[in-house]
């Protein structure tokens, strides 16, 4: 049998580049500013929207992105990542074309919210799974971190590009150029997203640490979505993902507004540094989770994010640009870690066979978290001293999220002959284990499923 060529790094590079293009989602703040200016200026060609509804396309986009991940995950598992990413590119392009030909509120809700949002979900869903399948379990965190880093760092180039296009050509033509460019890029790169052959076995590094060796020795688990939904760990992960992403998205929007007040025309520096921190957090958290475990890394990241929220309560009143930039970088770093850790958790617990669908279901926490926490933040910020209260709420929720990680003990296979524990017994056993020794993964055990 001929030797199978390892295309792992080609797939990783293609996935990273696709996410760099799909990161146009984070250019919404630029679009929003242009829309607001058009509404306030008025005129026959101006956007005739209610100023209070200006953020609706973005809110709908986040929900469409999250829930499209379920359908996209199913497609990724059934028809492959290349076709799934191709669908994503076409959806994003059609959404931007609709925005280019109409400035009506509904056209933008459908174009950016439903079409582009669904396209982001299809493209994002297709990028990570094939990359993970080319590498050993000991590199799951690293590979996931590299691929999703593209989405995080995209604002560094997309924000100035979008600003230039809108300033030079106006909003309609800017949407057309962005739509054409990103459609060509995503569709062109989609062909490089390929799964390895069934007989392919990734090479295991020889210099593995204790935790990496434990991960490599675990049994292959390929749970269906129904099996995953019967596992309490799914709900623990969903709630912690909801908190981590929702708190991060809620505050990222606030920091962007604060930067404009304290830094004026230099506000883009804070936004760019936050984006770099966002991307860096995805890679660093991935590498760290391969070394010390997913649960320990998640606990550290959620705890650090909670501390940042409490510090932010003082920073918002200081007016210091330096402190604001530092705060933005750390918040972006910790928020980005969520987007690497949870896909790694999904692969560890439920395998790669139905990975797209399973992670798609888990990813709904990101969309719901951003939507709910964003709405709550808007309500709180409308009150006197509301911004500080938003940071306080986010900090308290993150403390709760960090505490929930006690139920996510690392797993170790046991023999086929041992009795299968009930979900409640497993839940209670891991609670007691986590309460005694937080890093006690060497004692945690699961049964190898019967074939």
Alpha carbon of residue 407 to chain centroid: 22
pLDDT given at position 420? 41
Dihedral, 349, 355, 356, 360 alpha carbons, nearest 10: -10
Share above pLDDT 70 across residues of the chain, in percent, rounded to a whole number: 80
pLDDT the model gives residue 250:
76
- pLDDT tens-digit map of 208-224: 555 555 555 555 678 88
Residue 144 pLDDT greater than 50, yes or no:
yes
Lowest mean pLDDT, pick from 20-34, 148-162, 205-219: 205-219
* C-alpha torsion 274→275→279→281, nearest 10: 10
What sign for the dihedral angle of Cα 42, 113, 365, 245? negative
25, 61 contact by CB (below 8 A): yes
pLDDT band at 141 (very low <50, low <70, confident <90, very high): confident
Over residues 405-423, mean pLDDT: 53
The pair phi, psi for residue 85, each rounded to 5°, is -65, -35
Would the pLDDT of 416 be above 50? no
Which one is predicted more confidently, 364 or 201?
364
Model confidence, pTM: 0.79
| Residue 421: pLDDT over 90 | no
- pLDDT level of residue 403 (50, 70, 90 thresholds): very high
Lowest mean pLDDT among 42-46, 62-66, 95-99, 154-158: 42-46
Name the CATH architecture for the domain at 8-197. Up-down Bundle (1.20)
* C-alpha gyration radius of the chain: 22
Share of the chain above pLDDT 90, in %: 33
| Token pair recorded at residue 38 | 């058009």
Domain ranges, ordered by start, for the chain: 8-197, 207-451
Choose between 398 and 412: higher pLDDT. 398
From 133, 120, 113, 111, select the one nearest 84 (Cα to Cα).
Answer: 120
- Tell me what pLDDT residue 123 has: 93
Q: Which CA distances in Å does 212 have to 133, 190, 200, 222, 326?
A: 16, 31, 20, 20, 33
- What CATH homologous superfamily does 207-451 map to? MFS general substrate transporter like domains (1.20.1250.20)
Pick the most confident of 92-101, 148-157, 432-441: 92-101
Contact 237, 229 (CB under 8 A): no
Look at residue 198 in the predicted model and tell me its pLDDT.
81
Q: Please give the average per-residue pLDDT across 1-13, as a whole number.
A: 79
Q: Pick the more confident residue, 233 or 26.
A: 233
pLDDT exceeds 60 at position 428: no
> What confidence score (pLDDT) does residue 264 get?
65
Query: What is the model's pLDDT at position 207?
Result: 59
- Give residues with Cβ within 8 angstroms of 203, minimum separation 6: 6, 136
Confidence of residue 413 (pLDDT cuts 50, 70, 90): very low
The confidence band for 298, taking pLDDT boundaries of 50, 70 and 90, is: very high
Q: Which of 289, 287, 309, 311 is nearest to 299 (CA)?
A: 289
Q: Residue 352's pLDDT is what? A: 82
- Can you give the pLDDT at residue 147? 92
User: Is residue 429 very low, low, confident or very high in pLDDT (cuts 50, 70, 90)?
Assistant: low
Q: Which helix (H) or strand (E) holds 414?
A: strand 413-414
Token code pair at residue 91: 């959806």
For residue 268, pLDDT beyond 90: no
Q: What is the mean pLDDT of residues 429-443?
A: 47
Asked if pLDDT for residue 419 goes beyond 50, the answer is no
**123, 89 contact by CB (below 8 A):** yes
Query: Exposed (0-12), middle (13-18) or buried (19+): which is 160, by Cβ within 10 Å?
Result: middle
- Tell me whether domains 8-197 and 207-451 share a fold: yes
Predicted pLDDT of residue 68: 92
Q: How high does pLDDT run on average in the chain?
A: 81
Element of type H or E holding 413: strand 413-414
Give the whole-angstrom CA distance, residue 366 versus residue 372.
10
């Amino acid at each position: 049998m001929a030797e199978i060529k390892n295309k792992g790094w080609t797939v990783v590079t293609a996935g990273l580049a696709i996410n760099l293009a799909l990161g146009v989602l984070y250019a919404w703040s630029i679009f929003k500013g242009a829309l607001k200016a058009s509404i306030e200026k008025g005129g026959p060609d101006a956007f005739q929207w209610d100023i209070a509804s200006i953020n609706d396309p973005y809110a709908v986009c986040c929900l469409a992105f999250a829930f499209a991940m379920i359908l996209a995950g199913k497609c990724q598992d059934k028809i492959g990542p290349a076709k799934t990413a191709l669908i994503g590119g076409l959806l994003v392009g059609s959404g931007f074309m609709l925005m280019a030909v109409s400035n009506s509120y509904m056209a933008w809700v459908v174009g950016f919210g439903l079409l582009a949002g669904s396209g982001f979900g299809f493209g994002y869903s297709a990028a990570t799974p094939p990359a993970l399948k080319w590498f050993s379990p000991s590199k799951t965190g690293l590979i996931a971190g590299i691929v999703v880093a593209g989405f995080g760092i995209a604002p560094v180039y997309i924000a100035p590009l979008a600003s230039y296009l809108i300033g030079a050509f106006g909003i309609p033509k800017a949407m057309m150029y962005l739509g054409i460019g990103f459609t060509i890029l995503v569709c062109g790169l989609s062909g490089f997203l390929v799964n390895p052959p069934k007989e392919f076995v990734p090479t295991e590094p020889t210099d593995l640490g204790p935790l990496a060796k434990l991960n490599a020795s675990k049994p292959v688990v390929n749970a269906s979505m129904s099996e995953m939904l019967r596992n309490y760990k799914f709900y623990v992960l969903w709630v912690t993902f909801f908190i981590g992403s929702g708190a991060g998205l809620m505050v990222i929007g606030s920091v962007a507004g604060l930067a404009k007040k304290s830094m004026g025309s230099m506000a883009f520096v804070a936004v760019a540094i936050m984006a770099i921190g966002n991307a860096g957090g995805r890679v660093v958290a991935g590498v760290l989770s391969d070394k010390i475990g997913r649960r320990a890394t998640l606990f550290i990241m959620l705890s650090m994010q909670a501390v940042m929220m409490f510090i932010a309560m003082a920073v918002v009143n200081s007016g210091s640009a330096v402190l604001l930039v530092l705060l933005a970088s750390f918040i972006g770093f910790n928020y980005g870690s969520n987007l690497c850790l949870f896909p790694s958790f999904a692969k560890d617990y439920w395998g790669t066979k139905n990975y797209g669908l399973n992670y798609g279901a888990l990813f709904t926490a990101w969309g719901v978290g951003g939507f709910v926490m964003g709405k709550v933040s808007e309500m709180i910020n409308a009150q006197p001293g509301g911004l500080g209260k938003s940071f306080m709420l986010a900090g308290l929720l993150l403390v709760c999220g960090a505490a929930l990680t006690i139920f996510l003990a690392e797993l170790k296979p046991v023999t086929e002959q041992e009795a299968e524990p009930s979900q409640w017994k497993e839940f209670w056993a891991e609670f007691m284990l986590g309460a005694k020794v937080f890093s006690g993964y060497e004692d945690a055990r699961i049964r190898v499923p019967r074939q």
